[in-house]
Amino acid sequence: MVKIEPFDTARHLDNPEIISHYLAEALETGDHKLIVRAITNVLRASRIADVANATGLSRTSLYWKNKASPKFITVLKVLDVVGVRLEPIPVRPPRSGRKRRQPPLPSRTTHTGARGRV
């Protein structure tokens, strides 16, 4: 008889590149429960005790229940320890009809000497 074990995501999160792709997918959903679950899986993959030691947080503060909403600073500390950071990416262009003011372009004239001759 074949024994089938449940799939454990944490077993496959073994480097920062894989972790970053995994978290990016979770963040794209916008589902806060899924995002917290994904970060929890990253914690388990990185051994909660090791993350607790590296962040200075207690182990019990890193066991988040289904209804828990961890503090943002805690999430940032955890991501830093596992080698991942959050990076803001624009999700849509600015509203049409309202143009953003562009910064002025640098002057193309070059000045030589104290008298300002070109």
Segments making up each domain of the chain, as ranges = 9-81
Q: What pLDDT sits at residue 118?
A: 47
Q: What pLDDT sits at residue 106?
A: 64
Burial 48-83, CB ≥16 within 10 A → b, else e: beebbeebebeeeebebeeeeebeeeebebbbebbe
The tens place of each residue's pLDDT in the chain, 118 residues long, gives: 899 989 888 888 988 899 999 999 999 898 988 999 999 999 989 888 999 999 999 988 888 876 678 888 999 999 999 888 888 878 777 666 556 666 666 655 545 444 544 4
31-41 pLDDT, tens per residue?
Answer: 988 999 999 99
